[in-house]
């Protein structure tokens, strides 16, 4: 065991013991030097301790003696200073090592009680130092010289000055808020308004950047921001119509609409809502199916499809029969469950007209445009195969798919017919409820049929609304006004334009004064337009629009 390791055993010496040992060692050295000078005799080398390093063991042959030693008189005179230097270089010990050796030689081994007392003093010193640091940190630091007096008064918070201190903090927070607002206003004044539109008189073809898709999209978003706050962000010397024209051109180029249809759809919404609508039309939607409650339950159907590797989940809380499918390892239209009539492929939005119609058992119901049968079979399922459902479609070729779905889903209370729906009051009437899912332009299902972007013309938006008005009047005339629970007509389209929706209903209300609007009872969708360029004079006009952004 080395010297330092051995000295570490036991309790360490106290500070007083170390100081006493140093003083004794220094006194011993002074006596030794004085005696050597007086006798002019050489000093005996320092006796080696038992724990000296191996290289110093050669010095241990000399025995310890007194400080003064007598030598024969015939020995030559010795230079003790030079001898001392050589001895130091021989042992290669620094002054610090000698000092440490001296301290180690005079260390006193303390008791356990001494060690406990010393540790307690050290802990008390550390606690005092920590408390002083905590006090320094607890003091609030205020940079304003004008509040220095308040800081001194509020150093110690108590019940008497707490309210005053709170008012001081509130006042400073308000001052900081006002300063921040002033900085924002100054920055807005100094910063020039962004120039988004190209300079007047320049041709678009000259700049290839105008046809870059990324640049066009960025410009559309910037123009929308400007239009939302035109008074603040509009460029000086530019009118609002210039920004709108530029935005519509970019929409046509980016999304592929005709200028006529892009402008018609853009005018229905605010700029930000219009951009959301155009974006929603580009998003692919998951496949949706409707459970046929005449044959199974949704929970059992979902479990059966999951076992076949179908990833699905319920559509939403507003329907108890719908499922949306994200991916499948098998064709959804060819599973044993599909062939057995447990479900039908049907868009979620087409559930809503039947839910608004709210058919009851043992009623007589007319579906004026029934093919391919999604809504008709849903009506039959809600009626639990009771009553009678007349499924009509003017296109005879489409009735084949209608009949096939009726048989596959097990609907036994449906009669299929092929009439022009405008002639229906003359053929048969007296229905409790009538569903009219009228032919339309399809502007609400562009995500399914992208050809609508380029196929619709101004002539279509004149002919289609005219046909819809005639069909709605026929539906009103076909219903039994004296029905106990019925007398209900549901009008729906796959379009979002006012010409095909609100204007058609407004026309029917004016032509048939005995008809009134009622709430749909649907928990999904947005309120319809109550005014649009002076075309909707009804003040209490209420309906539901289920836009692509709602699903």
Residue 180 is assigned to a ligand binding site: no
**Nearest CA among 501, 507, 504 for reference residue 527:** 501
Q: For 223-262, give the secondary structure using H, E and C.
A: HHHHHHCHHHHCCCCCCHHHHHHHHHHHHHHHHCCCHHHH
Tell me how crowded residue 412 is: count the other CB atoms within 10 A of its CB: 10
Instruction: Quickly list H helices, 3-111.
Output: 3-7, 15-39, 80-91, 95-105
Q: Which one from 252, 411, 417, 494 is the annotated catalytic residue?
A: 494
Is 380 marked within a binding site? no
Tell me if residue 494 is catalytic: yes
Task: Find out whether 374 is annotated in a ligand binding site.
Answer: yes
* DSSP reduced 3-state for 470: helix
Question: Rounded to an integer, what is the distance from CA 263 to the centroid of its chain?
Answer: 33
- Please name which of 95, 10, 83, 6 lies closest in space to residue 41, comparing C-alpha atoms: 83
Residues 226 and 233: their CA atoms lie apart, in Å, by 5
Q: How far is Cα 495 from Cα 263, in angstroms, rounded to an integer?
A: 15
Please provide the DSSP assignment of 340-381 as one string.
TTSEEE--GGGHHHHHHH---TT-EEEESS-TT-HHHHHHHH
Residues 284 and 230: their CA atoms lie apart, in Å, by 33
Q: Where are the beta strands (DSSP E) in 440-512?
A: 488-492
449 is in an annotated binding site: no
Residue 523 is assigned to a ligand binding site: no
Are 106 and 25 contacting, i.e. CB atoms less than 8 angstroms apart?
Answer: yes
375 annotated ligand-binding residue: yes
Annotated binding residue 262? no
SS3 414: strand
Q: Is 420 annotated as a binding residue?
A: yes
Residues 6+ apart with CB under 8 A from 393: 369, 370, 371, 399, 402, 418
**Does the annotation place 5 within a ligand binding site?**
no
Q: Is 370 annotated as a binding residue?
A: yes
Residues in binding site: 369-375, 393, 420, 437
Residues in binding site for S-adenosyl-L-methionine: 369-375, 393, 420, 437
The set of catalytic residues is 494
């Amino acid at each position: 065991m080395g010297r330092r390791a051995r000295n570490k055993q036991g309790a360490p010496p106290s500070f007083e013991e170390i100081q006493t040992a140093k003083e004794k060692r220094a006194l011993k050295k002074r006596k030794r030097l004085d005696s050597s000078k007086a006798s002019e005799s050489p000093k005996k080398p320092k006796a080696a301790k038992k724990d000296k390093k191996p290289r110093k063991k050669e010095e241990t042959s000399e025995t310890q003696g007194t400080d003064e030693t007598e030598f024969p008189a015939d020995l030559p005179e010795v230079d003790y200073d030079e001898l001392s230097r050589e001895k130091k270089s021989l042992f290669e010990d620094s002054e610090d090592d000698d000092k440490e050796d001296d301290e180690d030689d005079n260390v006193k081994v303390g008791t356990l009680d001494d060690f406990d007392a010393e540790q307690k003093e050290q802990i008390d010193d550390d606690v005092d130092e920590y408390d002083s640091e905590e006090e320094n940190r607890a003091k609030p630091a205020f940079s304003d010289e004008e509040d220095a007096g308040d800081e001194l008064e509020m150093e110690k918070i108590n019940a008497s000055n707490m309210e005053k201190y709170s008012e001081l903090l509130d006042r400073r927070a308000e001052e900081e808020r006002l300063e921040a607002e002033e900085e924002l206003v100054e920055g807005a004044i100094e910063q020039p308004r962004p120039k988004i539109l190209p300079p007047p008189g320049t041709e678009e073809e000259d700049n290839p950047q105008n046809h870059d898709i990324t640049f066009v999209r960025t410009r559309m978003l910037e123009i929308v921001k400007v239009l939302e706050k035109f008074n603040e962000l509009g460029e000086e010397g530019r009118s609002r119509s210039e920004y709108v024209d530029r935005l519509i051109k970019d929409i046509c180029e980016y999304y592929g609409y005709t200028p006529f249809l892009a402008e018609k759809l853009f005018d229905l919404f605010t700029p930000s809502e219009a951009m959301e609508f155009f974006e929603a039309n580009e998003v692919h939607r998951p496949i949706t199916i409707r459970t046929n409650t005449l044959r199974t339950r949704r929970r059992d159907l979902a479990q059966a499809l999951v076992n076949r590797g179908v990833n699905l989940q319920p559509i939403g809380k507003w329907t108890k029969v719908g499922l949306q499918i994200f991916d499948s390892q098998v064709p959804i239209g060819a599973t044993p469950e599909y062939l057995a009539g447990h479900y039908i492929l049907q868009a979620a939005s087409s559930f809503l007209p039947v839910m608004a119609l709210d058919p009851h058992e043992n009623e007589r119901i007319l579906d004026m445009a029934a093919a391919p049968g999604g809504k008709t079979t849903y009506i039959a399922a809600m009626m639990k195969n009771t009553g009678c459902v007349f499924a009509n479609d003017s296109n005879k070729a489409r009735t084949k798919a209608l009949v096939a779905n009726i048989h596959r889903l097990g609907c036994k209370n449906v009669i299929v017919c092929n009439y022009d729906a405008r002639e229906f009051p003359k053929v048969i009437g007296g229905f409790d409820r009538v569903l009219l899912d009228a032919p339309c332009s399809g502007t609400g299902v562009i995500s399914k049929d992208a050809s609508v972007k380029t196929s619709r013309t101004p002539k279509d938006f004149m002919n289609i609304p005219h046909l819809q008005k005639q069909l709605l009047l026929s539906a009103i005339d076909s219903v039994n006004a004296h029905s106990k629970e019925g007398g209900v007509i549901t009008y729906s389209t796959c379009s979002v334009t006012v010409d095909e929706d609100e204007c058609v209903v407004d026309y029917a209300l004016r032509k048939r004064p005995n008809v009134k609007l009622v709430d749909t009872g649907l928990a999904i969708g947005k309120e319809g337009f109550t005014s649009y360029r002076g075309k909707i004079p009804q003040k209490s006009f209420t309906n539901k629009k289920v836009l692509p952004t709602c699903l």
